[in-house]
Amino acid sequence: MRPEDFDYICRMLRDRSGLVLNQDKGYLLESRLTPVAQRHGLAGLDALIAKLRAGGDDALSVEVTEAMTTNESFFFRDEHIFTGFRDSILPRMMEARAAHRHIRIWCAAASSGQEPYTLAMILKDAGAKLDGWKCEIIGTDISNQILKRASDGLYSQFEVQRGLPVQLLVKYFEKDDQMWRIAPEIKSMVHYRKFNLLENMSILGSFDIVFCRNVLIYFDQVAKGDILGRIAQLMPADGILILGGAESVVGISDQFIPDPDQRGVYCKSNAGQSAPVATYTTKLAATSANLAQATPPQSPVTAVTLTAAPASAPGPAAAAPAPVISAPRPAAPATAALAASTPTAAVKPAAPAPMTPAAAPSVPAAAKPAPTTPATTVSPLAKPPAPAGTSVPGTGPAKPSAAPADDSGQANRQPQGARN
């Protein structure tokens, strides 16, 4: 197949059905469209594409599109989904709809009918719990041919053996030659119609539960987001969306959020609000701001430096040197707020004494000039050394109530852990 013919088919499929076909899936064109060409008496794919390009035969375009869609399905596919529907989703929905006793379910990619009939059997088995209830199941698909099979409700031995419990086979199917036909009581619970997910969905009405499984994987990101957004418009605030195992709304749509208890199940976000992700982000930012106000950073913490006056000669008149409190650095706003609520440092001198003239506000270690007069810096970690041969009565390490200061004059604080 020529590259330009491949591109033409890809564009036609995307425009008509949303199906995205990559180069590595080119083999599907050969296997699925060759029978279409043969049915129309055409020599091969080249002749088929030439006829499509000529236009005027919409039925042929529809047939080609339907041939390229995937119709893989079987009963109770992904069993945990149907167990969750029976044990959790259905009881929850019945409680919420008790006033009008009406539930509508949409199978958006019904294929040959196994999914909607599985739901119908579960509802039928609910028995007296649903007496007086109206439960509608709508099955749609883009293919007329596959919808006819679903409406017939006729399945091969192989198809009924894929996932269908034997007790349900005996209970709800009848043998028809080599095939199995679903019971009329189950068949009547499902209504089928042709529908393209790219079309206006409002004509379908509203739905409490939507099964849209294993179909979004064939669309590009833009089409996925558009489809999910329009599905959300059909659902009430407590609506439930169920996707396939390889599908997710994350990074595609903010209309739904995952159900934490059931994989593949999604709830309308924040009771129908259109931007739950933004709401969550706002809450997270507010929490971070509160933490920032409650926990000041290390750098602006005010430090108090204690400097002892020069030791005087021993004698009866010698008095204990008075600690000198250096001027603190200006506090940052966050530190000031903290200091207002919690006392930071209160140093009580041993005895009243005049300020030592040589004392000056402390400066960072890197900027301090060399001392010109002997001075002893009181460190909370070690006692100050006394000059050799002298005894300074009453001296000793000060015990400030503030946190220990590091070399830069700033208190060492252990930051609080961030909230996860």
Give the domain-ending residue among 279, 304, 324. 279
Q: 232 vs 399, which has greater pLDDT?
A: 232
Residue 214 carries which DSSP code? S
> Which pLDDT band holds residue 415 (cuts at 50, 70, 90)?
very low
Please report the pLDDT score of residue 116 as a whole number: 98
Give the integer Cα–Cα distance in Å for 365 and 350.
27
Whether 125 and 266 share a structural domain: yes
Measured in degrees and rounded to the nearest 5, phi and psi for residue 28 equal -65, -35
Q: Is 356 exposed, middle or buried (0-12, 13-18, 19+ CB in 10 A)?
A: middle
Whether 21 and 88 share a structural domain: no
Give the domain-ending residue among 68, 89, 107. 68
Q: Is residue 341 in some structural domain?
A: no
Please report the pLDDT score of residue 291 as a whole number: 38
Q: Which amino acid is at 297?
A: P
Please report the pLDDT score of residue 2 as a whole number: 83
Whether 60 and 102 share a structural domain: no
Task: Count up the domains in the chain and report the number.
Answer: 2
Q: Is residue 110 in some structural domain?
A: yes
SS3 187: helix
Tens digit of pLDDT for each residue in 17-58? 888 888 877 788 888 899 999 999 998 899 999 999 988 788
Cα radius of gyration (the chain): 39
Is residue 104 within 8 Å of residue 138, measured between CB atoms? yes
* Domain harbouring 178, CATH code: 3.40.50.150
Is this prediction's pTM over 0.75?
no
CA angle 248/275/235 to nearest 5° reads 65
Give the domain-ending residue among 39, 68, 97. 68
Please report the pLDDT score of residue 70 as a whole number: 74
Tens digit of pLDDT for each residue in 295-317? 444 444 444 444 444 444 444 44
Which residue range is the domain that position 86 belongs to? 79-279
